[in-house]
Amino acid sequence: MNPILANSAIGIFDSGIGGLTVVREVMRMLPNENIIYFGDTARVPYGIKSVDTVKQYAMQITEFLLERKVKMILIACNTVTAAAENEVKELAGSIPVLGVIEAGAHAALESPQRHHRLAVIGTLATVNSDAYAKTLNTLSSETEVYSKACSMLVPLAEEGWTDNEIAELTLRSYLEDIKNMNIDALILGCTHYPLFKDTIEKVLDKPEVAIIDSAVSIATMAKKELEQRGLLNNDPHPDFKCYVSDKPQRFQELAERFLGKKVDDIEVVSLA
């Protein structure tokens, strides 16, 4: 097996643009790292698909990233993490794999407030898997977890509708019951959801409730893992390469708006 090289890229993947929330945090915390991003824009959303289908997609993307000799894989998709994290790790072998669910759970429990009453919003697949509740309860038996599926948010995010009237009305409907609960924190259990963070805070109207963004936590975990393995890169001009399975122009528009920088190295590939 070939050695893992420090100047190899970090591979990050998601069903669409949501994983760019992870990219943004990795760029902020690890500014010298080369990054390869795969957004499966032809098959988004994953959250309404079967577990077997999600596993199939995850294996195809993992193989694609491994062919590009990545040194680490970040699963920037809660649906994939819930359905296929173990399979991705097995396929990746010695390449470290991190998923957003464990990262988000640790972020919720390691805060100074030690949150115990938590709400999680995510896709139908993530909520049905009960992955957050299981992970949180493993880490802390005192934790109470309420989960809510918010399936319409991913399509809205992919359209760029994150801060308009439609987004606000949709979130008011989804968060109505959560707003009336006495929770300590709300975990954004989908990497698309941080795109709605300002609207969520406005609708929830509870400044005392912490909003947990697992993108920050997984970037922190990635930095620690690379430091421990001696794999940090020091390239002053790192590459950011994007692959999508469809709609590159739309992806570019949303990616540039979200990352605040020009994104022109985008290639369309088909994995089916």
pTM beyond 0.75: the answer is yes
- Per domain, the residue ranges of the chain are 10-99+216-268, 102-214
CB count within 10 Å of CB 214 equals 32
Half-sphere exposure of 220 (CA within 13 A, CB side): 11
Q: Say which CATH topology domain 102-214 has.
A: Rossmann fold (3.40.50)
The CA distance from 159 to 171, in Å, is 16
Q: Which of 77, 92, 121, 195 is catalytic?
A: 77
The CA distance from 169 to 165, in Å, is 6
Q: Which of 109, 119, 145, 190 is catalytic?
A: 190
CATH architecture of the domain 10-99+216-268 equals 3-Layer(aba) Sandwich (3.40)
Q: Is 269 helix (H, G, I), strand (E, B) or coil?
A: coil
| CA 228 from centre of chain | 23
Write the DSSP assignment of 32-55 as a string of letters.
T--EEEEE-TTT---TTS-HHHHH
pLDDT tier at 234 (50, 70, 90 boundaries)? very high
pLDDT digits (tens, 9 = 90+) for 165-218: 999 999 999 999 999 999 989 999 998 999 999 999 999 999 999 999 889 889
pLDDT tier at 249 (50, 70, 90 boundaries)? very high
The verdict on whether 150 is a catalytic residue reads no
Does the pLDDT of residue 240 top 60, yes or no? yes
Q: Name the token pair of 215.
A: 């993108």
